[in-house]
Amino acid sequence: MTEDRQHPVLQYIINNPEAFAQNLAKTLENAGKALAAYLEPREKGEVKQDGTDELTNIIKTLAQVGEYWISDPERAVAAQTRLMNGYITLWNSSLKRMMGEATEPAACPPSRDKRFADPDWENNQYFDFIKQLYLITSKWAEDLVLDAKDLDEHTRHKAEFYVNQISNALSPSNFLMTNPELLRLTVESNGENLVKGMQHLVEDIRAGHGDLKIRQTDMSKFSLGENLGLTPGKVIAQNDVCQVIQYEPTTPQVLKRPLMIVPPWINKFYILDLTPEKSFIKWCVDQGHTVFVISWVNPDARQAEKSFEHYMKEGILNTLDIIKKATKQEEVNAIGYCVGGTLLAVTLAYMAATGDKRIASATFFTTQVDFTFAGDLKVFVDEEQISMLEKKMAEQGYLDGSKMASAFNMLRSNDLIWSYVVNNYLKGKDPFPFDLLYWNSDSTRMPAANHSFYLRNCYLENNLAKGKMEVGGQRLDLSKVTIPIYNLATREDHIAPPQSVFLGSSCFGGPVNYVLSGSGHIAGVVNPPAKHKYQYWTGATPKGDLGDWLDAATENAGSWWPHWDAWIREQDGEEVKARKPGANRVKILEDAPGSYVRAKA
C-alpha cells in the first residue's frame, strides 16, 4: 500500500473521505466566522470602506496601458500573437513530454523564486504545465507595460508595480488545487490544515479589527524589556515628540564625543537593540561609545500638527541640549537611519545655516537625501494620491500604522505577504518565531503634518536635493554641510536603493565615505561582526556612476561595524572617563527602553 501511495496520481487522492468531509465542514464553518469578523465592525460603522480611491487609481493606471495597445489594431494583434505563440510553444513541449520525448520547458522561474521549489512543480506534468502557463502569462503582462511607449515614466512605474502585485497574487502557488505541496498536505491530513488555517484567518481578522492583519511571526514569544531591547539604560528626558535614552557604559573609558542615534519614526528604534547578540546599540556601548538614542512617540491626534520642524527642534536639537547637559560635551557624533537620516540631513543643513556646530560627524544608514531614484515607494507618490492621503489623515490627525506596514510589505509581496498567506491559512501552520518580524509587525502611526511634508518635499518634489526646502525659516542647502560623513547603503535595498544613496552623497559639501553593505534595508545594517555574514564594499569618492564605483571598489568579508568604528575614531579618538546616566543632575525618568516605544498603533 505504501508503494502504491508513491504513484504520482495516488498521492493526491483522499485517503479518508469521511474525515475529510468532517474537516471540510469545519473549514466552511470557520470561513463563516471569518466573514462575520470582517463584516461586524463595518456594520457597526467602526471601519470605513476606504479602498475605492486606491482601486480607482489602479484601474485608471492599467487602463492607460490597455488604451495604448487597443488604440492600434496592428499593435493589439501583435500583442495577442506574442501571447498565443507562448501558449503554442508550451502546448507543443507538453505534447512531446507526454509522448516521452526530451524537451526544453517553454518558461522557467528564476533560480531564487522560492514559490516553485517543490519537486512536483517540475516532475508532475500537470503542475509543470500550470506553472509555465502562469510564467508565460505574467511575463507577457509585464512586457505590455514595458513596451507601452506613450506612457510617462511615473505611470509606467505604477503600472509595472500594479501588474507585479496582481501577478504575485494570482500565482498558482497561492491556491490549493494548483499547488502540489498544499494538495498533498491536505490529502495527508484529511483537510486538518484547512481547519487550522481558517482558525488563523478568523483570529487575524479579529486582531485587525475587521481588516486582515497577517501574522508574520509568533507575537507571544517576544516582549520588550524581557527578550528584546535589553541594553541597560535610562530615559533621561521626554516631550511630546520623543524620549531620550542614555545607555549605561560597560567600559572604564569612553570616547570623548558622545554618540546620538536618530532612528526612523516609521518604525521603532529597537531594530538597533533586538537580542543582545544582534544589538548595534549594545555593540557601540561595548566599544566605548556613550550612546544616546531618540525614541519617537507613537503619535495620535495630539501630534497631528507636529511637522518636520517640530521633529527637528523637539527631537534632534533638543536632544543635543540634553546630551550637553549630561556629558558637558559640545560636540557629538550622530547617526541617522532611513527617514531618521533624512531628518538628520535636514537638521545638518539647518545647523549650517544658523552656525550651529555641535554635530561633528554624521553617519547615515540607508538614507536618501536625493529622491530621484527612490525606488518602488514612488509608486504611491503623486499629487492625486497624496491629496487622498492628506484627506484621510485630516479625519483623525495621523496615518494608521497598518497603512505604512502594508506599503512596505507590498515591496516584497511574495516574501512578506503571500508566503504567509500560504503558510498560515492554507498549510495551517504557525509562523516561526523571529525577532525581526516581530519588530516589523510592531507598527507606528505617522503625524499628519509631518508625513505630508515628507511625501511632498522629498518624494514628490525632491526639494532637499534641489536646495528648495525651507524649515524653521531657513532655506536648506546640503552643500553647506562640510562635516565628515559615513554614508552606508545596502545592495538589495528596496526602500533606499543603493543608487539613490550614492547619488545623495554628492549633495554634501564635505568628505563623504560611501560604503555598500551586502543584503537589504535591515539585514545589511543589523549585521553584527560575530555572525560573520555578508560583506561590504569600500572605495573612492562617490562620484559618477555606481556601477563604475563598484567595479573599482574593494570587497571586505563580514560586518561593516568595525570599519565604521575605526572611521569614527579617525575623526576624534580622544577618550575620557565613562559617564553614567543621571550624572550632572540629570533626572532619570524610567528604565530603557522606555514607555514611548511600548505604545501600540
- What are 161-198's pLDDT values in tens digits? 999 999 999 999 999 999 999 999 999 999 999 999 99
In a domain, 73, yes or no: no
Q: HEC profile for 351-394?
A: HHHHCCCCEEEEEEECCCCCCCCCHHHHHHCCHHHHHHHHHHHH
pLDDT at res. 3: 45
In a domain, 310, yes or no: yes
| Alpha-carbon span 212 to 238, nearest angstrom | 34
pLDDT averaged over every residue in the chain: 94
CATH at residue 368 = 3.40.50.1820
Residue 215 burial (CB count, 10 A):
18
* Res. 48: pLDDT tops 80: no
Cell numbers placing 243: 524620549
Cβ pair 413, 78 in contact under 8 A: no
| Alpha-carbon span 534 to 520, nearest angstrom | 10
In a domain, 29, yes or no: no
Mean pLDDT, residues 319-341: 97
Total count of domains within the chain: 1
- What are 490-513's pLDDT values in tens digits? 999 999 999 999 999 999 999 999
Cell numbers placing 326: 549630561
pLDDT at res. 7: 57
- What are 133-160's pLDDT values in tens digits? 999 999 999 999 999 988 999 999 999 9
Mean pLDDT, residues 438-451: 94
* Res. 6: pLDDT tops 80: no
Cβ pair 366, 490 in contact under 8 A: yes
Angle at which helix 73-98 crosses helix 125-146, to 10 degrees, equals: 160
pTM (global) more than 0.85: yes
- Active-site residue set: 338
In a domain, 404, yes or no: no
- What are 547-598's pLDDT values in tens digits? 999 999 999 999 999 999 999 999 999 999 999 999 999 999 999 999 999 9
Q: How confident is residue 2, by pLDDT bands cut at 50, 70 and 90?
A: very low
Mean pLDDT, residues 370-380: 93
In a domain, 149, yes or no: no
| Alpha-carbon span 452 to 403, nearest angstrom | 14
pLDDT at res. 14: 83
In a domain, 333, yes or no: yes
- What are 228-270's pLDDT values in tens digits? 999 999 999 999 999 999 999 999 999 999 999 999 999 999 9
Residue span of the structural domain in which 342 resides:
233-389+468-598
Lowest mean pLDDT among 324-333, 400-409, 455-464, 470-479: 400-409
Q: How confident is residue 49, by pLDDT bands cut at 50, 70 and 90?
A: low
- What are 209-229's pLDDT values in tens digits? 899 999 999 999 999 999 999
